[in-house]
Structure 1
Amino acid sequence: ASVFARTSARDGYDVLRGDDKLAFVTELFDVVAESYDRLNDFISLGAVRFWRWWALLDAFARGSRVLDVGCGPGNVTAYCMYTHLTHMAIDCTGVDCSGKMLELARRRCPGATFVKGDAGALGECGIESDANDVVTTVY
């Protein structure tokens, strides 16, 4: 059985380490991917969209290279590429361990780059430590 199927949520976050923890988190987000945005909207009473906008409002300069770690379904990438920042020619790369989340992100932002990888080992998925101007991690 999978790590996710045989591990409680509390143990998944408090007890697991290394590859087991990555497997747990990956499977967790694969399972919730299709309902992730609806859940965030419901839990925050819709405020999550404002929070993202407000947190990112002054983070970018023209031509910024943005790395979105734990990009999920691509909400931050979409904000960078398709809102009032469009004129700024921002280059976005999203990294996530969940293949299902990346499928959603690629559909939402076809012009962005998305990479499957571990947030704790970005070098292993080809992300150079000094290659970006802005690094985000926003739920």
Structure 2
Amino acid sequence: MQSNQSTRLLSLARHLLRRTAAQASQQAAGATGAAATGAGESGSAEQTTHFGYQTVKASEKEQKVHEVFEQVANSYDMMNDAMSLGIHRVWKDMFVERLGPTHGMRLLDMAGGTGDITFRYLKYLAKQANPQQRSSHVTVSDINQHMLDVGRERARRLGLTAESLPNSTIAWQCADAECLPFEDASFNAYTIAFGIRNCTHVDKVLSEAYRVLQPGGRFMCLEFSHLTNETMQWLYDQYSFQVIPPMGQLLAGQWQAYQYLVESIRRFPKQEHFKQMIEQAGFDLVSYENLTFGIVSIHSGFKL
């Protein structure tokens, strides 16, 4: 009796296993057919990417980032002071010092809309030479026209006009870092500060930077990074997620925009990984320097 019962249970188990396997096979075949149909209709599945912690279509990210910076453009510099307690000024000063601007340099300041790096660059040059010896050409480029408008107005208020810069020029160019409208080898320095993590295809940005630089030209990137100390990283995370979005709401009326900015920092590659990406784009002598425990890093590479 017990033997017969065991046999029946074993037979039932085998039947259930066979039926489950058949159902799984049918589902897999259906999914394959659906995928093949989708591929036939559209050519290929649309690529996705991250927008902060969200997963979005790659074709949508640029517009979403554009909307963020449209919202924060007028309060961008004030919020930088508030969020970093003013330390961003020190980081940017060090960034320009590491670049070491020289007479005759042609600089592309990418994602430089409000002019923070360009104005420091010109100030640095002013200390290095008398007015007759100064000459430089800076192109400030940003994908967001509103940010460029803010930068132009700041330049006017600072008195950075053609009359005050007799041998230097500032051009303002709305452009996409992934597809620049400049000729090959147009610049001998390329800077991008706190902008590259917002780009959809970082590899394309690096490739374009390499293309528009002259042989011997230098690529420099200032970007939020990852702390090397776990305790400090935890404290930094608490500040970033618990303080910055409410601060954005209080000072700029923009909680979601600053929530995205905090999340985008966490999604950006770690220092060594980004260094490898710069090398893969063709740059040599690639290095990075951590500032403030690695909250930000200065990345550098040369087109040799």
TM-score (norm 2): 0.39
> What's the counterpart of residue 88 of structure 2?
48
> What's the counterpart of residue 132 of structure 1?
187
> What's the counterpart of residue 176 of structure 2?
118
| Amino acid aligned to 2:80 | N
Q: How far does the alpha carbon of each residue in 1:43-63 deviate from its partner, in whole angstroms, 9 at most, with x for none?
A: 111011110110111412211
Matched, 1:70 2:111: yes
Contact kept, 8 Å, 1:77 with 1:109, in 2: the verdict is no
Q: Quick one: which of 71, 76, 79 aligns to 1:39? A: 79
Q: Quick one: which of 43, 47, 70 aligns to 1:30? A: 70
Taking the aligned partners of 1:39 and 1:16, their CA distance within structure 2 comes to 29
Q: How far does the alpha carbon of each residue in 1:18-51 deviate from its partner, in whole angstroms, 9 at most, with x for none?
A: 3x22111112111100111111111111011110
Taking the aligned partners of 2:118 and 2:89, their CA distance within structure 1 comes to 13
Shift of 1:90: 2.3
SS at match of 1:67: strand
Please identify which structure carries the higher strand content: 2
Taking the aligned partners of 1:91 and 1:76, their CA distance within structure 2 comes to 14
Percent identity between the two aligned chains: 29
Taking the aligned partners of 2:152 and 2:57, their CA distance within structure 1 comes to 30
Q: Larger RCO: Structure 1 or Structure 2 (Cα < 8 Å, ≥ 6 residues apart)?
A: 1
Point out where structure 2 has 5 or more consecutive residues left out of the alignment. Answer: 1-50, 162-169, 195-304
> What's the counterpart of residue 148 of structure 2?
102
Taking the aligned partners of 1:9 and 1:47, their CA distance within structure 2 comes to 23
Taking the aligned partners of 1:58 and 1:10, their CA distance within structure 2 comes to 33
Taking the aligned partners of 1:129 and 1:42, their CA distance within structure 2 comes to 39
Please identify which structure carries the higher helix content: 2
Taking the aligned partners of 1:75 and 1:65, their CA distance within structure 2 comes to 17
Matched, 1:93 2:148: no
Point out where structure 1 has 5 or more consecutive residues left out of the alignment. Answer: 1-7
Matched, 1:10 2:53: yes
Taking the aligned partners of 1:44 and 1:106, their CA distance within structure 2 comes to 24
Shift of 1:9: 5.0
Q: How many residues align?
A: 125
* Greater Rg by CA: 2
